[in-house]
Structure 1
Amino acid sequence: MNTDAGTRRVHVIQGEYKVVNDPDVVLTTILGSCVAACLRDPVTGVGGMNHFLLPGSVETMASGGDATRYGVHLMELLINGLLKQGARRDRLEAKIFGGAKTIARFSNVGEQNARFARQFLMDEGIKIVGESTGGEHGRKLEFWPSTGRARQHALTGVETQRTVALEQRQPIPAPKPAESSIEFF
């Protein structure tokens, strides 16, 4: 439920990134093992979010395939998009979310995604001001780029499995948020 009158919701799906400078926009996404990086310039109010499935590397990018699945590609696009809208690299701050271990019998790609995002931001000199990664359940995320406010809702086990299916690009209805929520400032 949207309690912020006048707010326009823009959903970011896997393989996408969005950059906005409108204070009336909230960016949203749903994460399982995927990670979303939320970056902003607190002076200009320009901010954005990406949503990636795998960390990736220069080598994986060179070998071809779908670049939009990889964090290395989407992190670069997000940062460049922010800079084009007037943000300054030295003022960027980040919050990262997701990276759950959603299926116990599989490798922990969620942990690898979160580790990649932290390392990438550190290498770029971008300060991480908030993080909620790991665990066994997915998250519904809302991010207000102009203020840096972020709020997440934990997903139940069934909702998390639906999110995993979405991450594998299977058409299943989007999960609803659980009752509990955490707000990050």
Structure 2
Amino acid sequence: MTDYATLSTRDIERLSRNIKPGEWAVEGERPISTLLGSCVAVCLYDAALRLAGMNHFMLPQMKKGTHADEDVLLAGDACMEALLNAMLQRGAAKHRMRAKAFGGGAVIDATAPGMLAVGKRNADFAHEWLEREGIPIVASDFLGPWSRKILLVPATGDAYCKRVTSGLISQESLRREELAYAESLLNKPATVANKKIELF
């Protein structure tokens, strides 16, 4: 078993499984990573099992439409249920779970049609969902003008959040990518799952 306490975050990222919008992962050993703009990632951890998972969602809820079944995990309500159920299937217990949640940055133009404060809506949804399920948030970093790189170490439950400045990643490029996701959800959601946002 790898001793992650001795590794740098760069090394942890190199070993990690990267997830994209609409995806989730549950691991007992391998780290999980993602890059967020206005999206939110929620990490769930069961210390008794040393098991953790992370998801990455684009909007709080998905409107019913032609492609809703294909892209439903881009929505927080479905993506949270998928993550929780995957944890439970691996033996985790809800009363032992703790959450760490990140994202909701203001990187999408709030004046774009249908995009009013999408980051804040995502952050509010994460708080409301976890409170409703009785899972306490023990750490969070929401809102602000930043994109974020998130690393989760399932073996320890540690989560690392790095606020990413424009010197490290093109803020405009990330904003365009997320806006493309958002417009796809509003117009032709079937194209969303093929897009990719990663930082290496």
Which structure dedicates a bigger proportion of its chain to strand?
1
Give the 3-state SS of the residue equivalent to 2:155 in structure 1: coil
Counterpart contact for 2:12–2:31, Cα < 8 Å: no
Counterpart contact for 2:105–2:147, Cα < 8 Å: yes
More displaced stretch, 156-165 vs 122-131: 156-165
Q: Is residue 128 from structure 1 mapped to residue 133 from structure 2 by the alignment?
A: no
1:90 Cα deviation from its structure 2 partner: 0.6
Counterpart contact for 1:159–1:175, Cα < 8 Å: no
Q: State the alpha-carbon separation in 2 of the partners of residues 71 and 160 from structure 1.
A: 23
1:161 Cα deviation from its structure 2 partner: 2.6
Q: Residue deviations 1:7-32, cap 9 Å, x none?
A: 7310011000001112xx11100000
Which structure dedicates a bigger proportion of its chain to helix?
2
Taking a change above 3 Å as real, the CA distance of residues 135 and 124 of structure 1, as seen in their structure-2 partners, is same
Partner residue of 1:180?
Answer: none
Instruction: Work out the number of aligned pairs and report it.
Output: 171
Partner residue of 2:170?
Answer: 159
Give the 3-state SS of the residue equivalent to 2:10 in structure 1: coil
Counterpart contact for 1:94–1:128, Cα < 8 Å: yes
Taking a change above 3 Å as real, the CA distance of residues 12 and 174 of structure 1, as seen in their structure-2 partners, is closer
* 101, 104, 107: which one aligns with 1:102: 107
Partner residue of 2:186?
Answer: none
Q: State the alpha-carbon separation in 1 of the partners of residues 125 and 59 from structure 2.
A: 9
Q: State the alpha-carbon separation in 1 of the partners of residues 24 and 12 from structure 2.
A: 23
Q: State the alpha-carbon separation in 2 of the partners of residues 4 and 21 from structure 1.
A: 14
Taking a change above 3 Å as real, the CA distance of residues 172 and 148 of structure 1, as seen in their structure-2 partners, is closer
* 83, 90, 97: which one aligns with 1:92: 97
Identity %: 33
Unaligned runs of 5+ residues in structure 1 are 177-185
* 27, 49, 54: which one aligns with 1:20: 27
Partner residue of 2:10?
Answer: 2
1:64 Cα deviation from its structure 2 partner: 5.8
Q: State the alpha-carbon separation in 1 of the partners of residues 64 and 50 from structure 2.
A: 31
More displaced stretch, 105-114 vs 87-96: 105-114
Q: Is residue 78 from structure 1 mapped to residue 48 from structure 2 by the alignment?
A: no
Instruction: Kindly report the root-mean-square deviation, in angstroms, between the aligned alpha carbons of the 2 structures.
Output: 2.5
1:103 Cα deviation from its structure 2 partner: 3.5
Counterpart contact for 1:100–1:136, Cα < 8 Å: yes
Unaligned runs of 5+ residues in structure 2 are 1-8, 182-191
* 124, 135, 146: which one aligns with 2:155: 146
Q: Residue deviations 1:101-141, cap 9 Å, x none?
A: 11454321000000000100000000100000000110011
Give the 3-state SS of the residue equivalent to 1:143 in structure 2: strand
* 54, 58, 78: which one aligns with 2:59: 54
Superposition TM-score, scaled by structure 1 size: 0.82
Partner residue of 2:46?
Answer: 41
